[in-house]
Amino acid sequence: MGFLENLIQMKLKTATGKDVMKISRAFELGINEAAAEKIAAYLRKNPVNILNHSDRLKLVKEISRIAGDQPAKKIYRILSELTR
């Protein structure tokens, strides 16, 4: 695992609801505070490697369940662009 991948993993494992809200506002995802807290809790509990396609899909499905389809679709597009 490379340095950047380790850094990303560390940030995901320590994500807070405030972190998720900051990203939601920056990318206009439309995630509310309650959903942001649930997403952050999921990230802290479940190891997610966003560089792995199947892990990304699991994450997006969970976000869809928590926050709805529109934010999940936007996140999927953003992550797909970032991981090319």
- Please give the structure tokens belonging to residue 39: 């997403």
Alpha carbon separation from 46 to 28, 34, 53, 60 (Å, rounded): 25, 18, 15, 13
Q: In the predicted model, is pLDDT for residue 1 greater than 70?
A: no
What pLDDT digit, counting tens, does each position of 10-67 carry? 999 999 999 999 999 999 999 999 999 999 999 999 999 988 999 999 999 999 999 9
pTM for the predicted model, two decimal places: 0.89
Alpha carbon separation from 50 to 12, 39, 78, 79, 83 (Å, rounded): 9, 14, 11, 7, 8
What is the CB-side half-sphere exposure of residue 57 using CA atoms within 13 A?
3
Q: Which residue type occupies 68?
A: G
